[in-house]
Amino acid sequence: MTLEAHVTQGPLTTEAGAPVADNQNSETAGAGGPVLVQDQLLLEKLAHFNRERIPERVVHARGAGAYGTFTLTRDVSRWTRAAFLSEVGKRTETFLRFSTVAGNLGSADAVRDPRGFALKFYTEEGNYDLVGNNTPVFFIKDAIKFPDFIHTQKRDPYTGSQEADNVWDFWGLSPESTHQVTWLFGDRGIPASYRHVNGYGSHTYQWNNAAGEVFWVKYHFKTDQGIRNLTTEEAVRLSGVDPDSHQRDLREAIERGDFPSWTVQVQIMPAAEAATYRFNPFDLTKVWPHEDYPPVEIGRLELNRNPQNVFAEVEQSVFSPAHFVPGVGPSPDKMLQGRLFAYGDAHRYRVGINAGHLPVNRPHATEARTHARDGALYDGRHDGAKNYEPNSFGGPVQTDRPLWQAVPVDGHTGNSAAPAHAEDDDFVQAGDLYRLMSEDEKERLIANLAGFIAKVSRDDIAERAVRNFRLADGDFGKRLDAAVQALRG
């Protein structure tokens, strides 16, 4: 594939545009003397090189991305007034970033870890970001626990390595993680490629229609390539032979015209049903069973264009679940509420206050009209326009129509757990998932879990970890306990 050239032919220049006479030899005091500080090309190149990287993402550091299109295939105007969902056949440009969660930027792709599925829709009403994973649930249900959880997945401050003790100590003391851990150590824990995973919005979001009616929704992106996974043994080998396997597979598929696609579905719950639903519909550790709210197919997502520069378009891409458009909004999901702040704040630190000006991040189908000015790398786009509102100089004005509908709240302020619903507990859905598996799938799940639990140094941590799975399903716990004991001697 021939990449489009963006640097014109002609003399090599400095960053200021002056021609470079010699790019092979630095300037010295005589043929064998020391280098001179007046060699500004040398200093410019070294100074730029020292600053070429920005801090990697704390989570989702390792990733790949591609551009594509979302095509609406079903009329959904009865549920949402979002313009990009307004007409069957309407196409919206997108950018999708896949990632692993816990590993550093230089880690391998083929590891047991959730896969991030962060999707940006470049709509005519502004960018809409849907930031999810390849699993429909997560390890925790409240964002106040997120820093603690991620600390257990990252390197221990004393050993400098990921420690089984930390991972299982936290999971064992956080029973709500049992459902997601069952997903993670099952067959889907190590995808064969990014093209062969489903994507999920995971959280519950609000849709609201032109009449002001509210619906709660969950997004599902079902891979048209089919689910494909790796065994632990296959992943270990592939990680050593080709640590860039997922990134390479995605890029090469698009280069040869084998465009990956996903069928897009939503589950839709009328707002009035949320309070009495058998599970808390805003609990990120739970799914809505399909028999309760069958998925409705609404569109197709296709990836068909690779980035031309990975750093500029993948590393510097930013996503925030706070980027809504009219007709779409948040829910009382406590994890989502924390992410509404945390994602944008992370990118303001990592990429900079003007990250939204970069081509991959700025709106493509409309124009951002704000009064925000200045900061590092501000491009002067506002010229001499006034930087306040209201003003009488023709500046942009508010619409007086919120993007989403208000929802009623009551009670007292305080540190409260989310309300429990009739069938809420931390184990029921993990047990349901286990019982859906074939015998072969159960055996692999137990082997994967036992191999990791057996690495902990303390018996009480191992026993607590097994206990959570026993509470999910008696057979699950009994078999896992026997497998752990066999490995621990």
Positions marked active-site: 60, 133
Distances (CA, A) of 188 to 115, 149, 228, 317, 475: 10, 21, 8, 27, 21
| CB 147 within 8 Å of CB 211 | no
21, two tokens: 């006479």
**DSSP H helical ranges for 75-202:** 146-153, 164-173, 178-184
Catalogue the long-range contacts made by 33-40 (C-beta closer than 8 Å, 24 or more residues apart): 40/14
Residue 389: exposure state from Cβ atoms within 10 A (0-12, 13-18, ≥19): exposed
Mark residue 18 as left, alpha or beta (left: phi above 0; alpha: psi -120 to 50; beta: remaining): beta
| CB 432 within 8 Å of CB 291 | no
| CB 284 within 8 Å of CB 135 | no
d(CA 97, CA 75) in angstroms, rounded, equals: 27
The string of DSSP letters for 198-225 reads -EE--S-EEEE-TT--EEEEEEEEEETT
222, two tokens: 């079902």
3-state secondary structure of 444: helix
